[in-house]
Every structure is written in structure tokens, then in C-alpha cells.
């Protein structure tokens, strides 16, 4: 039977044969659990007993839960602070690092190191940096010059930025490397032409460098947005005793899902939260892909 | 501790040699699960070897998991029929396992309820339904007041026995730098550690209240006693003469281990890690009483239960094994190796054990201890954490914060007891 196929048909058969493995893999590992999670979000289940159908109860509970809205807001604060700040800092570093010849490789390694460090270890080190006297590095420094203590992790206002700072720092290395690759890809001839015309370096930056970096910027924005929307390990490790505290001021959606599922064992409610996170990620990614298409 | 380890090892070597020669051909194998904690695993190995020696036709296979995964793995495995025949569960999880039909009651002829009521400390009665017990502990835990001997001596105070003495001692040990920042606390504080148990079952009862009524289904601390208990507790870390600070040195036990805290309330499970702390000279005494001598304590425990998977000869073997691990002998081994308290007064309240300088205060505490029935322990603890945070970070009054906590906790309890699966 196979022998009677045309070459084109044979190619299709082979293509599907190879595609079958990832499709099967994705079906079992990704799509089946995703579908199941959506199903569980309409049920009540404590992992032990039977699942019972509860319709939209979990979603009603979710939208009436003040903690959920607080957490929802936190998640977007992580995104809206984290993405632009990390983008600007990493671009500035990459832009100047690109022009530096002195110890270029060594400096680049220094920026990349935090990205390779375990997030858990880093979060704990920062957690100790932030402690009040007598343990905290920052507060000890403040105390030694007579400045009052700063409540980094013990304030509902400052805890979130304090948690976000090391997360941004950890991701910088990766973004710097991507930006540098983007900068190197811009043809030198544009810059030479600009120099011959006697254009200011500011104009070169705005008219040549940034527009030609757009694909790089869009990639980094999409990548880091998804990362900040899913932030978990930094928050969880810096606030383990009081996860997402104080008073839920640092709690992101993923941490709320984790707690609902694995401390409260309320799987249906956790699944409903997961579905909401999924939709948020989907919408944010679609908007960003739209922007990518424009370029 | 080293002494006990050597002893356990000697017993283990002798019995494993015996087991080697007596392996029966048609042995029944039952599986036992617990979470990984070095001393617990060691103690259970000794118990299993002793048991197998006495019952050569039964072998017990122990499996253990890291604590962080234990609850999820047990919950996933047992419904799938892959799990153990005898399993160790936290007492607070038992309701869910009973409701889901995953464990079976202990046979009333071997474990008569009347006899257990009489022989065990009264808090295990939470495991009883009708004439049968669902599960039984080998060991229990309670709270006591740890003190740093060097700091007490330097401040010239004695280990406190009442709440007033405790505050006075803590004040004497509190140190501040020039700017008024605490550099050494008289006492640790933090609802994230054991303080929420102390507040619920200790302070509220000592101030004349009862934290819950209606078999722990109704919150009952939004009243005079609850408010007094909260005011007393928050006086530790508020005001100019505070003897403590929330989050001092990150965690209460860390501050105590580092020798920067004079007093620290913690459970008997902390003994082992304090013993391993170099340079720390510590002692322990009962939780302080009120001026009129009222005491109250919190106790918790892990229980052993037979799962519904065990049938036929495996069930019989599981019953025999349960009998052994809840025996006086097993409890003494558990105390010697793990440092957890025997669940029976006949073992715990022996002259030697109750006068032990380390275990004694905990064992005495069992006599007046209460066990909270939690619906969601970490969720309920979180409410206590937030109750204090609203006061310290947002300046809310104790009355208002207490009322919010009581309402939120009642909501958790209502949801749990009214949900379809319970």
C-alpha cells in the first residue's frame, strides 16, 4: 500500500510519523492535564475523596474573594514594574558593555552569573540581607551610620519591591546577552553612514539602534512578562514562614494556587485559579504576538 | 543522644542477625509509610526488627519520603491502591481519610475503646468514633518554655514559672543598641512558629476562655478572654518596653539557637536540633502558669492507621504490628531514640521520665494539654499571623483585628465542615 503512494504522499506520511512522537508527548503531558485542570475547576475535590460537580461555584468564590483581587493586582505589579525596569537596565548595560573593550569577557560573565545561580539560594541570601539588626547586612550598614532601620520585608509597601529587586537582578544577565546579540546584528554600515552625515549619537540611538532592535525588544518583553506573571520561587523563599506576606502584600497568583492546592487541598478552587492564570497569560501573550507581527 | 544511638544500633545489629536466620518461607509482607526524619526512621527500624523477631512470619517494609512531599504522595498513592498497609498520618488529616474511606477502624476486640480511654493520654480521644478508634499514636508532642542558661545567669534571674515572672525575666534579658534597636530579645515571638498554638490552647484558656466550642467547629475567642490573651501576647513586641520583635533574626528558633534570645516557646521536637547546637547552654521548663496557677498546653501527634488496602492475612499482620507500635516498649524506644513523648501515662509518667530535666516539662504538660482539631492548619495559622500584622503594620486595634480573625477562621471551619466531601 505504501508503495503505491506518490513521493509527495510518502513525504506526508513520514512527516506525520515524526510528528506523532511530539504530538503524543504533548497530548499526554500537556493537553490532557490542561483539559483535566479545566474540568476540576468546576468540581470540588480534596485529592482523597470523590470529585463532586459544583458548576461555577469555584469561580464565584474566586471573584468574591478579596485575597484573589489583591493577589491579582500584585501579579500585575510584578509585571508592570519588573518588565520595564529590567528592560531599561539590561539595555543600558548591554549598550555600554558593547562599547567596552576593557575586560569585556569578565564583565559579561559577572552580569551573567546571577542568571546561573539557583533562585532558591539567591532568595535566601537576599532574605538575610534584608533582615533588621543584628543580622541584616543593609540594616546594619544603615545603623552604623545612624540611619533608622528600613523595614524591607516587614512592610506592606516595601516588601513587594524588595522581593522584586533580586528577581530583576537575577534575570538581567540573560537579557543583557540577548541585547548584545541584537546590537551586534545591526550592520555597521548604518552607523558609518550616520557618522559621515554628522548625526548626533542621541539621534543614532533613537533612529537606528532602537528601531532595529525591535525584534529583540519584543522577544525580551514577551519572555520576561511571562516570567514575572509566573513569579514564585523568589517570593516563596523570601517569605516562607508567612508565604506571600506580610498581609498578602507580596503574594503572586502562582503562590496562591500552590497554597490552595497543597496546604488547603482544595483542588477545585486551585484549578479555577489556574484557569484564570492561563487566560491571563494567553491574553498577554496574544497582545504581544500582535505587536511582533506589526514589525 | 549519642548514647541512645549506640544502644539502638546494638539492638538493631542483634535483631537483624536473628531475623536473618528465622526468615519464614511464607512470610506475609506489609508496608509501612512515614516521612523521613533521621531519628524517626531509626526508631522505626528498631521497632520493625523487634516486631519481626517476635513474629517471624511477618515482614514489614518501611518506605519514607521527605516531609515536604509526604502529604501529597500519601494522598495520591492510597486512593490509587498503591499505598501502605499501615500509614503514619498527622492527626489533623484523619477526618479526610475517614471521609474518603481510605483507612479502617481498629478492631474493637484488640483495641477496646474503654481500655484505650483509660490507658492513653486523654487527647487521643479525638481519634475515637463510637466504640472504635480510627488510629493511635506512638508518641505525642507538647510545648514548653526553653531558656538560655547563660543569659538567665547574666541577668540574674531564675527560670520563670508564671507569666509575670516570664515577662520580668524577659525584660531583664532584653538588650538594645544606642538607637533603640533590639540586639538581644528577652523572648522570641512570632505566630509563624509555635506561638499560635500557645495563644489558642494556652493563653486563651489561661485567661478564662475556651478557644473553640462545638467540637472545634465554632470559633469562640472573639470575647473578653480572647482579647486579654491577644493583648498579653502583643505586649511582648509592642510599646517602648517590648521584650521581643516579630521577625527578629528572621525566625524565633534561629534567634534562640544563636544565643540572642532568652526565652523561647517550642515543641518537644526541637530538642534534637538544640542538642546539636554548639555553644548553646539551654534548659527547659513548663509553660508558665497564671498567678492563680492555671496552666494549659497544646499537644499534637502523628498517628498510625490501617488503610483499607490491608485485607485478609495482611490485615491480621497489620493489626499485630499496630499492637506492637502502640505498646509500652515501643513508646519507650521512641522516646529514647526520637525524643517524642510516650502517648500513655503508664510510660510517660514514670518516675524517671517525668523527672527527666529535658523531657519532664513536656510530659507534665501533657496532663493539661489540648489538641486543636484543625480544618486547614496552615490556613488557620496564617490568620493568626495576619491578626498580629494588622496590629503591628496597620495600627489596627486588638478588638478589631481579633474580630476579623475570628470571622475568617469561622469561614474556613464552615467551608470545611459543610463541604460535600466531608
Domain that includes residue A34, residue range: 1-40
- State whether A145 and A244 are in the same domain: yes
Give the residue extent of every domain in chain B.
2-141+300-355, 143-298+371-418
CATH for B2-141+300-355? 3.40.190.10
Chain B residues inside the 8 Å CB shell of A150: none
Spatial CB neighbours of B151, under 8 Å, sequence gap ≥ 6: B173, B184, B259, B262
Q: Considering only alpha carbons, which residue of chain A is nearest residue B74?
A: A48
- State whether A61 and A35 are in the same domain: no
Report the residue from B247, B378, B390 with minimal CB separation from A154.
B247
Across the interface, do A135 and B419 touch by the CB < 8 Å criterion? no
pLDDT at B273: 83
- State whether A221 and A258 are in the same domain: yes
The answer to whether B161 touches B269, Cβ cutoff 8 Å, is no
Report the residue from B376, B393, B394 with minimal CB separation from A263.
B376
Helix (H) or strand (E) holding B256: helix B252-257
> B31 — phi, psi (to 5°)?
-110, 140
| Rounded distance between C-alpha atoms, residue B63 and residue B78, angstroms | 14
Best residue in B181, B185, B190, B415 to probe A by mutation, most A CBs within 10 Å? B181
Across the interface, do A156 and B250 touch by the CB < 8 Å criterion? no
Kindly report which listed range (A50-54, A274-278, B220-224) carries the lowest average pLDDT score. Answer: A50-54
Spatial CB neighbours of A29, under 8 Å, sequence gap ≥ 6: none
Report the residue from B71, B192, B419 with minimal CB separation from A242.
B192
Q: Return the sign of the alpha-carbon dihedral for residues B161, B165, B170, B172.
A: negative
Across the interface, do B376 and A49 touch by the CB < 8 Å criterion? no
Assembly ipTM: 0.85
Q: Considering only alpha carbons, which residue of chain B is nearest residue A150?
A: B181
pLDDT at B92: 84
Mean predicted lDDT score pLDDT of chain A? 91
Are both B2-141+300-355 and B143-298+371-418 of the same fold? yes
- State whether A35 and A63 are in the same domain: no
> A265 — phi, psi (to 5°)?
50, 40
Across the interface, do A149 and B181 touch by the CB < 8 Å criterion? yes
Q: How far is B49 from chain A (nearest CA, A)?
A: 32
- State whether A233 and A95 are in the same domain: yes
Q: Considering only alpha carbons, which residue of chain A is nearest residue B249?
A: A135
Q: Considering only alpha carbons, which residue of chain A is nearest residue B375?
A: A264
Which residue matches cell numbers 538544640?
Answer: B274
The predicted model gives A259-276 an average pLDDT of: 92
Report the residue from B100, B177, B376 with minimal CB separation from A49.
B100
Across the interface, do A135 and B78 touch by the CB < 8 Å criterion? no
Across the interface, do A143 and B192 touch by the CB < 8 Å criterion? no
Residue B217 touches partner A, C-beta closer than 8 Å: no
- From first CA to last CA, the distance across chain B in angstroms is 43
Which pLDDT tens digit goes with each residue over A129-148? 999 988 899 999 998 888 88
Residue-wise over B325-340: b if at least 16 C-beta within 10 A, else e?
bbbeebbbbbbbbbbb
The answer to whether A167 touches A82, Cβ cutoff 8 Å, is yes
pLDDT at B26: 63
Report strand pairing: B103-104 vs B218-219: unpaired
H helices present in B309-371, as ranges: 312-325, 328-337, 345-348, 351-354, 360-366
- C-alpha to C-alpha distances, B243 to A134, A184, B159, B166, B239, nearest whole angstrom: 15, 60, 16, 10, 9
Q: Is residue A47 part of a domain?
A: no
Please state, as a whole number, how many other Cβ atoms lie within 10 Å of the Cβ of residue A140. Answer: 16
- State whether A16 and A105 are in the same domain: no
Which residue matches cell numbers 517550642?
Answer: B266
- C-alpha to C-alpha distances, A95 to A89, A92, A181, A252, B103, nearest whole angstrom: 10, 5, 11, 32, 64
Chain A residues inside the 8 Å CB shell of B250: 127-128, 131, 135
pLDDT at A75: 94
Across the interface, do A133 and B419 touch by the CB < 8 Å criterion? no
- Of residues B24 and A71, which shows the higher confidence score? A71
Report strand pairing: B136-148 vs B297-307: antiparallel
- State whether A33 and A163 are in the same domain: no
Q: Considering only alpha carbons, which residue of chain A is nearest residue B252?
A: A241
Please state, as a whole number, how many other Cβ atoms lie within 10 Å of the Cβ of residue B22. Answer: 13
Count CB pairs under 8 A between chains A and B: 94
| Rounded distance between C-alpha atoms, residue B268 and residue B341, angstroms | 8
Spatial CB neighbours of A240, under 8 Å, sequence gap ≥ 6: none
Report the residue from B71, B183, B389 with minimal CB separation from A247.
B389
The answer to whether B380 touches B412, Cβ cutoff 8 Å, is yes
Q: How far is B80 from chain A (nearest CA, A)?
A: 10
Across the interface, do A134 and B385 touch by the CB < 8 Å criterion? no
Report the residue from B99, B251, B390 with minimal CB separation from A241.
B251
- C-alpha to C-alpha distances, A106 to A166, B69, B393, nearest whole angstrom: 21, 41, 44
Across the interface, do A264 and B421 touch by the CB < 8 Å criterion? no
pLDDT band at A295 (very low <50, low <70, confident <90, very high): low
pLDDT at B188: 96
Across the interface, do A245 and B386 touch by the CB < 8 Å criterion? yes
| Rounded distance between C-alpha atoms, residue A162 and residue A78, angstroms | 11
Spatial CB neighbours of B133, under 8 Å, sequence gap ≥ 6: B105, B106, B111, B113, B116, B124, B127
pLDDT at A245: 80
| Rounded distance between C-alpha atoms, residue B92 and residue B318, angstroms | 22
Chain A residues inside the 8 Å CB shell of B394: 156, 247
Fold of B143-298+371-418: D-Maltodextrin-Binding Protein; domain 2 (3.40.190)
- State whether A87 and A20 are in the same domain: no
Residue B75 touches partner A, C-beta closer than 8 Å: yes
Q: How far is B75 from chain A (nearest CA, A)?
A: 6
Q: How many domains does chain A have?
A: 2
Q: Considering only alpha carbons, which residue of chain B is nearest residue A45?
A: B421
Q: Is residue A137 part of a domain?
A: yes
Helix (H) or strand (E) holding A219: helix A214-229
Q: What is the pTM of this model?
A: 0.86
Coil vs helix vs strand at A64: coil
Cell numbers of A65, please?
Answer: 474573594
> B283 — phi, psi (to 5°)?
-135, 175
Chain B residues inside the 8 Å CB shell of A54: 420
- From first CA to last CA, the distance across chain A in angstroms is 47
Chain A residues inside the 8 Å CB shell of B79: 47-48
Mean predicted lDDT score pLDDT of chain B? 89
Q: A-side interface with B, Cβ within 8 Å?
A: 44-50, 52, 54, 127-128, 131-135, 143, 146, 148-149, 153-156, 241-242, 245-247, 259, 262-265
Per-residue pLDDT of chain B (422 residues; tens, 9 = 90+): 344 444 444 444 444 444 444 444 468 999 999 999 888 899 999 999 999 999 999 999 999 989 888 888 888 888 887 889 999 999 988 888 888 888 999 999 999 999 999 999 888 888 888 888 999 999 999 999 999 999 999 999 999 999 999 999 999 999 998 888 899 999 999 999 899 999 999 999 999 999 999 989 999 999 999 999 999 999 999 988 899 999 899 999 999 999 999 999 999 888 878 888 889 999 999 999 999 999 999 999 999 999 998 889 999 999 999 999 999 999 999 998 888 899 999 998 889 988 999 999 999 999 899 999 888 888 999 999 999 999 999 999 999 999 999 999 999 999 888 874 44
Q: Is residue A114 part of a domain?
A: yes
CATH of the domain at A159: 1.10.3720.10
Q: Where would I find the beta strands (DSSP E) of B188-317?
A: 212-213, 218-219, 261-267, 282-285, 297-307
| Rounded distance between C-alpha atoms, residue B181 and residue A148, angstroms | 9
CA B225 from chain center: how many Å? Answer: 24
Give A241: exposed, middle or buried? Use CB within 10 Å, 0-12, 13-18, 19+. Answer: middle
Question: Is the pLDDT assigned to residue A292 strictly greater than 80?
Answer: no
- State whether A111 and A4 are in the same domain: no
Across the interface, do A241 and B181 touch by the CB < 8 Å criterion? no
Across the interface, do A264 and B379 touch by the CB < 8 Å criterion? yes
Amino acid at each position: 500500500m505504501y508503495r503505491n503512494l506518490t513521493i509527495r504522499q510518502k513525504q506526508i506520511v513520514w512527516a506525520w510519523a515524526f510528528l506523532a512522537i511530539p504530538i503524543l508527548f504533548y497530548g499526554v503531558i500537556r493537553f490532557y492535564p490542561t483539559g483535566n485542570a479545566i474540568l476540576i475547576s468546576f468540581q470540588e475535590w480534596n485529592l482523597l475523596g470523590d470529585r463532586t460537580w459544583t458548576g461555577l461555584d469555584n469561580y464565584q468564590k474566586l471573584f468574591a474573594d478579596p485575597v484573589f483581587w489583591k493577589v491579582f493586582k500584585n501579579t500585575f505589579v510584578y509585571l508592570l514594574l519588573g518588565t520595564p525596569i529590567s528592560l531599561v537596565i539590561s539595555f543600558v548595560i548591554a549598550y555600554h558593555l558593547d562599547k567596552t573593550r576593557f575586560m569585556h569577557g569578565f564583565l559579561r560573565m559577572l552580569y551573567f552569573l546571577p542568571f546561573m545561580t539557583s533562585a532558591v539560594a539567591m532568595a535566601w541570601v537576599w532574605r538575610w540581607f534584608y533582615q533588621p539588626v543584628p543580622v541584616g547586612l543593609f540594616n546594619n550598614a544603615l545603623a552604623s551610620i545612624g540611619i533608622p532601620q528600613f523595614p524591607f520585608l516587614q512592610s506592606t509597601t516595601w516588601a513587594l519591591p524588595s522581593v522584586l529587586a533580586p528577581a530583576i537582578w537575577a534575570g538581567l544577565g540573560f537579557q543583557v546577552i540577548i541585547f548584545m546579540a541584537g546590537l551586534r546584528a545591526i550592520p555597521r554600515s548604518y552607523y558609518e553612514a550616520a557618522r559621515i552625515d554628522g548625526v548626533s549619537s542621541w539621534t543614532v540611538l533613537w533612529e537606528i539602534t532602537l528601531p532595529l532592535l525591535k525584534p529583540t525588544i519584543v522577544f525580551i518583553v514577551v519572555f520576561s512578562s511571562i516570567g514575572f506573571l509566573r513569579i514564585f520561587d523568589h517570593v516563596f523563599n523570601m517569605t516562607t514562614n508567612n508565604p506571600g506576606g506580610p498581609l498578602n502584600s507580596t503574594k503572586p497568583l502562582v503562590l496562591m494556587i500552590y497554597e490552595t492546592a497543597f496546604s488547603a487541598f482544595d483542588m477545585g478552587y486551585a484549578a479555577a485559579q489556574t484557569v484564570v492564570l492561563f487566560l491571563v497569560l494567553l491574553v498577554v501573550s496574544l497582545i504581544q504576538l500582535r505587536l511582533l507581527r506589526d514589525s | 543522644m549519642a548514647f541512645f544511638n549506640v544502644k539502638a544500633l546494638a539492638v538493631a545489629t542483634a535483631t537483624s542477625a536473628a531475623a536473618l536466620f528465622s526468615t519464614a518461607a511464607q512470610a506475609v509482607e506489609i508496608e509501612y509509610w512515614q516521612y523521613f526524619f533521621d531519628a524517626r526512621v531509626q526508631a522505626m527500624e528498631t521497632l520493625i526488627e523487634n516486631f519481626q523477631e517476635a513474629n517471624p512470619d511477618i515482614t514489614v517494609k518501611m518506605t519514607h519520603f521527605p516531609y515536604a512531599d509526604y502529604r501529597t504522595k500519601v494522598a495520591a498513592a492510597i486512593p490509587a491502591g498503591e499505598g501502605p498497609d499501615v500509614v503514619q498520618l498527622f492527626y489533623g488529616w484523619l477526618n479526610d481519610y475517614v471521609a474518603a474511606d481510605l483507612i479502617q477502624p481498629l478492631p474493637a476486640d484488640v483495641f477496646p475503646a474503654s481500655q484505650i480511654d483509660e490507658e492513653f493520654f486523654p487527647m487521643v480521644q479525638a481519634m475515637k468514633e463510637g466504640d472504635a478508634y480510627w488510629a493511635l499514636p506512638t508518641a505525642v508532642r507538647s510545648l514548653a518554655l526553653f531558656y538560655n542558661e547563660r543569659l538567665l545567669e547574666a541577668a540574674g534571674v531564675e527560670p520563670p514559672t508564671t507569666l509575670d515572672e516570664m515577662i520580668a525575666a524577659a525584660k531583664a534579658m532584653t538588650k538594645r543598641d544606642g538607637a533603640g534597636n533590639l540586639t538581644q530579645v528577652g523572648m522570641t515571638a512570632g505566630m509563624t512558629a509555635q506561638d499560635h498554638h500557645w495563644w489558642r490552647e494556652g493563653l486563651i484558656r489561661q485567661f478564662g476562655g475556651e478557644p473553640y466550642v462545638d467540637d472545634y467547629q465554632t470559633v469562640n475567642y472573639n470575647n473578653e478572654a480572647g482579647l486579654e490573651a491577644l493583648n498579653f501576647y502583643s505586649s511582648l513586641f509592642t510599646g517602648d518596653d517590648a521584650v521581643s520583635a516579630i521577625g527578629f533574626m528572621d525566625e524565633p528558633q534561629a534567634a534562640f539557637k544563636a544565643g540572642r534570645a532568652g526565652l523561647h516557646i517550642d515543641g518537644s521536637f526541637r530538642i534534637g536540633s538544640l542538642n546539636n547546637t554548639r555553644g548553646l547552654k539551654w534548659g527547659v521548663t513548663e509553660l508558665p502558669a497564671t498567678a492563680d496557677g492555671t496552666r494549659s498546653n497544646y499537644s499534637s501527634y502523628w498517628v498510625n492507621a490501617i488503610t483499607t488496602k490491608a485485607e485478609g492475612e495482611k490485615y491480621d499482620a497489620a493489626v499485630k504490628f499496630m499492637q506492637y507500635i502502640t505498646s509500652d516498649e515501643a513508646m519507650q524506644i521512641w522516646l529514647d531514640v526520637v525524643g517524642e513523648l510516650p502517648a500513655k501515662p503508664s510510660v510517660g509518667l514514670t518516675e524517671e521520665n517525668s523527672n527527666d530535666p529535658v523531657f519532664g516539662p513536656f510530659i507534665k504538660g501533657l496532663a493539661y494539654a489540648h489538641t486543636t482539631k484543625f480544618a486547614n492548619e496552615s490556613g488557620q495559622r496564617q490568620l493568626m499571623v495576619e491578626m498580629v500584622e494588622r496590629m503591628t503594620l496597620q495600627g489596627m486595634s486588638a478588638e478589631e483585628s481579633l474580630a476579623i480573625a475570628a470571622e475568617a477562621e469561622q469561614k474556613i471551619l464552615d467551608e470545611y465542615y459543610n463541604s460535600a466531601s466531608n
